[in-house]
Structure 1
Amino acid sequence: MTAERNGSPIGPRAASSWLYVYPRGLRELLLYIKIKYKNPVIYITENGMDESNDPTLSLEEALMDTYRIDYFYRHLYYILSALKDGVKVHGYFAWSLLDNFEWSAGYTLRFGINFIDYKDNLKRHQKLSAHWFRNFLRKQ
């Protein structure tokens, strides 16, 4: 597997060296699965991106994850496009609800839409992306 096409990255890299942002690729994958596997029901169980845990950021700065909102918006846009083409996506789960311990990186990366303050008794704070997701889910 590669994160390049014709010698160029397929999209911007997230904090993890293996994670590149390519929303259109999700649509392409869903359409491929539809054709290859006779259009099964699909649940997307993890979709998200990480950021480095930057201890120099204030809490207010750490909660302003506009890039994550853009990530979710664009991926959901392409899922909707695949749905319109008949793909049976029946569920979608953002990665992740909370910042957490990553097996290969420990607490150096943050995936959550909720910030966990590792220095203040694991206190939780909603990031801007959590508010965006709530509003997105309320829309009809």
Structure 2
Amino acid sequence: MTTTVRAGASAAVAGPERGDGIDHGTPRGYRQHHAKGVPYCGRCRKANRDEKRSYNEAKRASAAQQSWNRGKVGTPSEPRLRPTGRECPDAACGTAATEPQASAHLVVVAVDGSREPARWYCAGPCAAYGQALAEIRTLPVVDRA
């Protein structure tokens, strides 16, 4: 395997070769460049820089942020639909309460201090499931690392 670098050019501007066994554009590719002694390509340098930036942002999060969302930073993702453990005929059952009430028979389930966001549930077994889920999510998270 040969990497061609023009005279006067630095090793950082060397381009990726086909079939060199490196996953270009990924942090893994950056490490493969290092392990093989091959000059880093721009895509791998950028992927490594982005990974380090993300890691450092999480590391700089306050203690409150780290305990609340395990060090994750940025905008939260949309909460996904929670199944109630049984087939519910209403498609709106379990949707986030940030949306308007879809049906008149839906009730909002929200528990103070819960990591589970407020959601719309059908009255009865679905609401009981939502209430139990929200209450469980008030318990402290134990890291098993």
CA radius of gyration, larger in: 2
Considering Cα pairs closer than 8 Å and 6+ residues apart, tell me whether 1 or 2 has the greater RCO. 1
Select the structure that is richer in strand.
1
Same fold, judged at TM 0.5 (above): no
TM-score of the pair, normalised by structure 2:
0.23
TM-score of the pair, normalised by structure 1:
0.24
